[in-house]
Amino acid sequence: MRNLLLILAYDGTAYKGWQRLPGSGRTVQEAVETALARVLGEDVNIIGAGRTDAGVHAEGQAANVHTGSTRPPEDILADLNEALPRDIACRSLKEVPERFHARYWAIAKTYRYRLHAHPIPDPFSQRYSLHVPESLDLPAMEASAAELVGRRDFSAFANHRGLKKGGERDLRTVRIQRNGQFVDILFTADGFLYNQARIMAGALIEAGLGRLGPKDIRGLLETKDRSAAPGAAPAQGLCLVRVEFRTETPEEE
């Protein structure tokens, strides 16, 4: 059996998230598996590096699949992109070690939350950003973001569904970037709790609007109280940008 690594991009608008679940409706995993099965001529089970929620997009979702096919990767890639729905694309496909696992070998993920910071809405970006008509104070957002960086207990910034194994994560960087009318918030961490990126984005938007400050962020982290934190920012502004992997087999493997 060969093990293939796929890097996928998708518009998550029409999907109920990444993970295939009984009765969950249309999912990205199911759509990719259906296309791959057609190309490879066999049933497949793809393993994603992360489970993006309904409406969340990806530029660099990673997944691996084991196959008995001997076809060259470049041929599989070309045929797969022909078979996929138009809102999903496979950006690259290559053979990796048999023991490679997209979820267990991931060491960092980067998510971007995009804001359209302008008084007038843009109909061409509304599927991929959150419109914020008020002026945003970027230095205030950066000051509040600095309080989130590090190994912390993010229980206040995650829904309870994601706390089964504890709320501690290592948030390595938070960057705030203005690109014309858009403001991007980029989070890089060793992993994310359920809805964590969207809840942190919601808090930093509040900071940009002058409703929260660094002291408030510190207080939320200390209380670990989800009910005290802002609501999650809408799904359409969030995008999984990149997944980074270790180069050696983890010890637990």
CA 92, chain centre distance (Å): 18
Residue 32's H or E segment, with its range, is helix 28-40
Both tokens assigned to 49: 């590096």
How far is the C-alpha of 152 from the C-alpha of 136, rounded, in Å? Answer: 26
SS3 (DSSP) at 199: helix
Active-site residue, from 53, 122, 153, 190: 53
How many of the other CB atoms lie within 10 Å of CB of 210? 12
Q: Of the candidates 67, 77, 78, 63, which has an alpha carbon nearest to the alpha carbon of residue 20?
A: 63
Helix axes 138-146, 214-223, angle to 10 degrees: 30
Side-chain-facing half-sphere of 205: CA atoms under 13 Å: 27
17, 66 in Cβ contact below 8 A?
no
Q: 170 an active-site residue?
A: no
Active-site annotation, residues: 53
